[in-house]
Every structure is written in structure tokens, then in C-alpha cells.
Structure 1
Amino acid sequence: MQSLAEIENWPVPAAAAAVVRADGTLAGAHGPTDRRFPLASVTKPLAAYAVLVAYEEGALDLDEPAGPEGSTVRHLLAHTSGLAFDEHRVTSPPGTRRLYSNAGFEVLGEHVAKVTGIPFAEYLRQAVLAPLGMAGTALEGAGSPARDGVSCVDDLVRFAAELQAPRLLDPRTVAEAMTVQYPGTKGVLPGYGHQSPNDWGLGFEIRGRKEPHWTGATSSPRTFGHFGQSGTFLWVDPDAGVGCAVLTDRDFGPWAVGVWPGFTDGVLRELG
């Protein structure tokens, strides 16, 4: 795909990108797609998928208590638990604000480890990474489920294919994960300011009508995914029937704000 070659013009030392169709076939790839990069917050969708596997296995319920008083697993996945961004400190009642929280995902990891008796990194490996053949992906050591994953583009397109045609989860569970939780909730999208509403599913950001945004102007409102502060992103556009993964080795900043949306529009235009 010619559009993927645009990463060669980005102000980054290294980048890799690939696009996968809804039927699981690779539409194109560019750069060192087998190179491992830090994921930063793109770790969260992988962690969320492991939580959903635990739910389907009966180890937990989405509406059982977890985190601060009054909070549930669902609140934690949807960033509405009230926990602060990077502190285990309550800043608002559960369900009232979309407070993007690394701490919330760390609580999720602790909760899954407690109810399954398996350290979260190992549960993630057994439940998601190994079944999908994501051998280059890991949450190493006692890393945070919010941000300490490492992966390669080759693995992430396997995950993007799973999101479009689930094998590990019931499609109804995946559909719920991509449905807005606590509709109308306002909040700050890191790097892009206050959004009203700030739509989010179960561990996946939903584009909705947000402006500005890291996806493209032509991305459908149903587009879901995540980006990371390490200069990484993963999105799936159900209306276009494609998913895209991009990893770089330069931290997110104005450069990414400037080039990511046009890149996504180019991918969608070429496939359309």
C-alpha cells in the first residue's frame, strides 16, 4: 500500500505500519514489522481483552465491585471509576466523569490476578497472546497493565484481525466492548483536550464525534482503538472493514498530532 510508505516522511528514527482487512488478510505492511517497540497505552486494549476473557470464563463479572467504593470492573475498563490519572486516589464518584486512569488499569490487573490466582502478565499471555500467536508481545515482569507492554506490528495486526472477527471471545462480548459505556460522559482525551462527550467502550476508545482526534477526518464514528505516548496507535474502523497498527520509537507529541490523521485518511482513501 502506497499510503503506508508515508511513515518514511515522519520525523521519527524508526516506524512500522500494517493494515489488516476484516477477513484477516493483510492489505499491506511497511517498515520493520517484526521489530518490538514499547506500546505505552496501546497496552490497555490487550489488557482489556484479557479481562473480557476472564469474564467469559466466569472468573469475574463486569458489574462486580473493583477499585474505589462504588466502582466496578466496568467502571475501571471505561475510565469512570473516579481514580486519578496516575495515582491511586479518588477524584470523583464512579460513573460521573471520564477520568482517563492508568491507576484504574493497574487495579484491574490486580483484580484479575486475585480472582484467577494467576499473575496478570501470565494471564494475559495465556488468555490472549499465545492463542493469537503473538509471540513477540509481552507484559514483562511486574509491568503495568496500563502501559508496559511491548509488541511488534506483525502481532498487533493479529490482534486487529481478532477484534474484527473474534475467535477468543463471543462476538456479543466484543460488540459490548465497542459500545459506549456511560453515554454522555465528559472528560479529557490525553493530548487532545476536553471532549464532550468523551466516548469510551470497555478498554477501547471510541471515536464518536470527537474533534480534534488522532484518527482521520474520514474515520467513521464507530472507529475504536487506542494510541500510546510512545508514538504508537491501533485502530479498527468497522465501517471500512479494516484495522491499522503503527509503532514508532519517538514519543507522542505535536509531530504525531500533525501526521497521524492525514495518514489514516490516506489509508482509508486507498482502500476505499
Structure 2
Amino acid sequence: MRSLALIDNWPVTTAAAAVVRRDGTVAGSRGPTGHRFPLASVTKPLAAYAVLVAYEEGGVDLDEPAGPEGATVRHLLAHTSGLAYDERRVTAPPGERRLYSNAGFETLGDHVAKETGIPFPEYVRQAVFEPLGMAASAVEGAGSPAKDGVSTVDDLARFAAEVQAPRLLDPRTVAEAMSVQYPGTRGVLPGFGHQSPNDWGLGFEIRDGKSPHWTGASSSPRTFGHFGQSGTFLWIDPDAGAAAVALTDRAFGPWAAQAWPAFTDAVLAELRGSAAA
């Protein structure tokens, strides 16, 4: 895909990207797709998928108590538990506000580990990485399910294929994860300011009508995914029937807020052009 060449002009030392169709085929790739990059918050959708595996296996229930009083696994996945960004400090009642929270995902990881008897980084490996052949992926460092993932474009392309045509999960579970949880909830989308509503599914951000946003102006409202402060993103656009992954070695900043939407629009335009040909 010619649109992927846009990453060559990004102000980064190393970048890699790929586009994955709904049928799992790779429409195109660019850069060192086998290079391992820190994912930062792109760890969260991988962690969320593992939690959903635990749910289907009976290890946890989405609506069982977890985290602050009154909160559940679902609240933690949807960033509505009331926990602060990087502290296990309650700042709002569960379900009232969309408070993006690393602490919430770390609480979630601890809860799953306690209920299953398996350390969460190992649970993610067994539940997601190993069955999908994501051999270069891991939750490293302090083992935070919020931000300590490392992976490659090749591995995340496998994950993107899985989410679009689930094998590890019942498609109904995936559909629930990509549906808005606690509709109408307001909050701040990190890097892009206050959004009303600030819609999220279960571990995946949902684009809807958010503006500004890190995806493209032509992205469908049903687009979902995540970006990371390490300069990484993964989006899936069900209407386009495709997903895109981009990993870099430069922290998110104004460069990314400008480059990523243009990249996304170019990718979508090329996909639509090829479909019409």
C-alpha cells in the first residue's frame, strides 16, 4: 500500500506499520515489522482481551466486585471505576465519570491474578500471545497491564486479525467489548482534551463523534482501538473492514496528533479505492 510510505516522513528514528483486512490478510506493511517496540497504553487492549478470555473461562465475571467499593470488572475495563490516573485513589463514584486510569488496569490485573491463581503477565501470555503466535510479545518491566507491553507490528497484525474474526473469544463477547459502556459518560481523552461523551468499550476506546481525535476525519464512528504515549497505535474500522497498526520509537506529542489522522485518512482512501476498482 502506497499510503504506508507516509511513515517515512514521520519525525522518528524507527517506525513500522501494517494494514490488516477483516479476513486476516495483510494488505501492506512498511518498516521493520519484526522490531520490538514498547507499547505503553496499547498494552491495554491486549490486557482487556485476556480479561475477556478469563471471563469466558469462568475465572471472573464482568459484573463481579473489583477495585473501589461499588466498582466491578466492567467499570475497571471501561475506565469508570472512579480511580485516579496513576494512583489507587478514588476520585468519583463508579460509573459517574470516564476517568482514564492506569491504576484501574493495574487493579484489574491484580484481581484476575487473585481469582485465577496466575500472575497477570503470564495469564496474558497463555490466553492471548501463545495461541495467536505472538512470540515476540510480552508484558515486561513491573508487569503493568496498563503500560508494560512490548510487541512488534507482525504480532499486533495477528491480534488485529483475531479481533476482526475472533477465534479465542465468542464473537458476541467481542461485540460487547466494542460496544459503548455507560453511555453518555464524559471525560478527558489523554492528549485530545475533554470529550462529551467520551465513549469506551471494554478496554478499547470507541471513536464515535470525538473531535479532535487520533484517528482520521474519514474514520467511521464505529472505529475502536488505542494509542500509547510511546508513539504507538492500533485502530480497527469495522466499516472499512480493516485495521492499522503503527509503532514508533518517539513519544506521543504534537507530531503524532498531526501525522496519525493524515495517515489514517490516506490508508482508508486507498482501501476504498481498491475496493471500488
- The answer, yes or no, to whether TM exceeds 0.5 is yes
Residues 207-235 of structure 1 deviation map (CA, whole Å, 9 limit, x = unaligned)? 00000000000000000000000000000
Q: Using the alignment, how far apart are the partners of 1:143 and 1:133 within structure 2?
A: 20
Cα drift, residue 113 of structure 1: 0.4
Give the aligned partner of residue 134 of structure 1: 134
Give the aligned partner of residue 159 of structure 2: 159
**Partner secondary structure for residue 100 of structure 2:** coil
Cα drift, residue 82 of structure 1: 0.0
**Partner secondary structure for residue 79 of structure 1:** coil
Give the aligned partner of residue 21 of structure 2: 21
- Structure 1 alignment gaps of length 5 or more: none
Q: Using the alignment, how far apart are the partners of 2:143 and 2:253 within structure 1?
A: 24
**Partner secondary structure for residue 188 of structure 1:** strand
**Partner secondary structure for residue 227 of structure 1:** strand
Q: Using the alignment, how far apart are the partners of 1:179 and 1:122 within structure 2?
A: 27
* Corresponding pairs, count: 272
**Partner secondary structure for residue 243 of structure 1:** strand
Residues 75-120 of structure 1 deviation map (CA, whole Å, 9 limit, x = unaligned)? 0000000000000000000000000000000001000100000000
State the TM-score, normalized to the length of structure 2: 0.98
Residues 109-151 of structure 1 deviation map (CA, whole Å, 9 limit, x = unaligned)? 0001000000000000000000000001000253210000000
Cα drift, residue 156 of structure 1: 0.3
Note if contact 1:18-1:153 (Cα within 8 Å) is conserved in structure 2.
yes
**Partner secondary structure for residue 179 of structure 1:** coil
Note if contact 2:141-2:148 (Cα within 8 Å) is conserved in structure 1.
no
Give the aligned partner of residue 195 of structure 1: 195
Q: Using the alignment, how far apart are the partners of 1:104 and 1:140 within structure 2?
A: 18
Q: Using the alignment, how far apart are the partners of 2:195 and 2:5 within structure 1?
A: 32
Give the aligned partner of residue 102 of structure 2: 102
Give the aligned partner of residue 209 of structure 1: 209
**Partner secondary structure for residue 132 of structure 2:** coil
**Partner secondary structure for residue 121 of structure 2:** helix
Q: Using the alignment, how far apart are the partners of 2:161 and 2:125 within structure 1?
A: 18
Within 5 Å, give how 1:1-272 maps onto structure 2.
1-272=1-272
Q: Using the alignment, how far apart are the partners of 2:141 and 2:135 within structure 1?
A: 16
Q: Using the alignment, how far apart are the partners of 2:68 and 2:115 within structure 1?
A: 17
Give the aligned partner of residue 275 of structure 2: none
Q: Using the alignment, how far apart are the partners of 1:255 and 1:99 within structure 2?
A: 25
State the TM-score, normalized to the length of structure 1: 0.99
**Partner secondary structure for residue 131 of structure 2:** coil
Note if contact 1:15-1:249 (Cα within 8 Å) is conserved in structure 2.
yes
Aligned Cα RMSD in Å?
0.5
Q: Using the alignment, how far apart are the partners of 1:64 and 1:116 within structure 2?
A: 14
Residues 171-193 of structure 1 deviation map (CA, whole Å, 9 limit, x = unaligned)? 00000000000000000000000
Q: Using the alignment, how far apart are the partners of 1:214 and 1:168 within structure 2?
A: 28
Note if contact 1:38-1:230 (Cα within 8 Å) is conserved in structure 2.
yes
Note if contact 2:21-2:241 (Cα within 8 Å) is conserved in structure 1.
yes
- Structure 2 alignment gaps of length 5 or more: 273-277
